[in-house]
Copies of this chain bind each other. A is one copy, B any other.
Amino acid sequence: MKTLNKIKESDILATLKGAGGGYISGQAISERLGVSRTAIWKHIGALRKAGYAVEGHPKKGYRLTAPVERPFNALEITLDIPTEFTGKEVLFFEELESTNSKASELARAGAAEGTVVIAQAQSKGRGRMARSWYSPAGVNVYTSVILRPKLPPQATRTITLACAVALAEAIEDTTGAAPSLKWPNDVLINGKKVAGILTEMSSESDRVNHIIIGIGINVNIEAADLPDGLRYPASSLKQETGRLTDRAELCRNLYSRLEKWYKVLLSEGSEEVVETWKERFTFVGKEVRIEGYRGIGAEPSVTEGICLGIDSEGALLIKERSGAIERVVAGDMAQSPG
């Protein structure tokens, strides 16, 4: 008797997709994957449960009918994803307190670089500066990626810039819109915030243990459903493009771009990342106001002046009215009113 192979839903899904909408017989699947008809039946049940319309015909076999809406799940993201390590392992949850907290827990337990966490909803979604991130179910993307750069912690400040570039490019790839960037790590379309990044790091003096890149994207949420009283005008991809966006495709593009820019950073240093980031930074030459820190020993302070850009380490440079150039390492930026 032949030993049966261990297969996963993704193998069956890939085989069905390979038939391009046509039928493929249970016998053919069984021979191709070296598994029993019972195993195929079980996995097709699981695929249907996951939202795939798999049609069965007593003589012709199985076929995947075109879905009304493509499912948003781990299978659709990992299947043939053109990356080396990012998004190869996707942990998908209906609801989490926070994808960053879950990813941090997994990272401490030893999860591999590139492991991804996604949630359909977050009950305690977090933004920068311990703020909350509005995370209703089923319409947006909330995802975290585990990175383990072999670098001292002080060399990693540009990783968030690299991720912001990747995020903007992934949105552009998927929707055709041309996002701009706001310092330090927001993505805007038509001047309104549609996505943000929360980078969390666990480090020693000399090396990084792990970095969690948390990304929230307002995708298909209606503008009317966004909360009031946000610090910065917010919108969604749906509102700004007028179309629904396939979240699985957006995630695939995001993980691909993220891996690309992460590799550029590790192999070539920060110059190309910083230059590419600057191309999307539209605040240069404008009057801005920053609530932030200038450094150690300094109280949180307000800096106002003309935005000059960022330096090679990602700090913001502001020319004050006095002519002095201030370097701000962390804070909130807004264009000055009027």
Q: Is the CB of B297 within 8 A of A265?
A: yes
Query: Chain B residues near A282 (CB, 8 Å)?
Result: none
Given contacts A154-B157, A202-B200, contact A207 B296 (CB under 8 A): no
| Best-buried of A128, A129, A154, A184 by chain B (most CB within 10 Å) | A154
Cα distance A153–B297 in the bound complex, in angstroms: 13
| Nearest CB in chain B to that of A270: its residue | B296
Q: Is the CB of B207 within 8 A of A130?
A: yes
Distance (Å) between the CB of A145 and the closest chain B CB? 15
User: Taking the complex as formed, is A233 at the interface, i.e. its CB lies under 8 A from any CB of chain B?
Assistant: no
Q: Identify A296's interface contact among B155, B160, B295, CB under 8 A.
A: B155
Query: Chain B residues near A12 (CB, 8 Å)?
Result: none
Q: Identify A269's interface contact among B156, B185, B198, B296, CB under 8 A.
A: B296
Cα distance A206–B130 in the bound complex, in angstroms: 10
Q: Is the CB of A200 within 8 A of B203?
A: yes
What's the interface size class on A, roughly? 35 or more
Q: Mark A158-178, 1 if CB is under 8 A from B, else 0.
A: 101000000000000000000
| Nearest CB in chain B to that of A158: its residue | B296
Within 8 A of B (CB), among A181-230: 184-185, 197-207, 209
Cα distance A198–B203 in the bound complex, in angstroms: 10
Q: Identify A155's interface contact among B155, B295, B331, CB under 8 A.
A: B295
Cα distance A153–B202 in the bound complex, in angstroms: 11
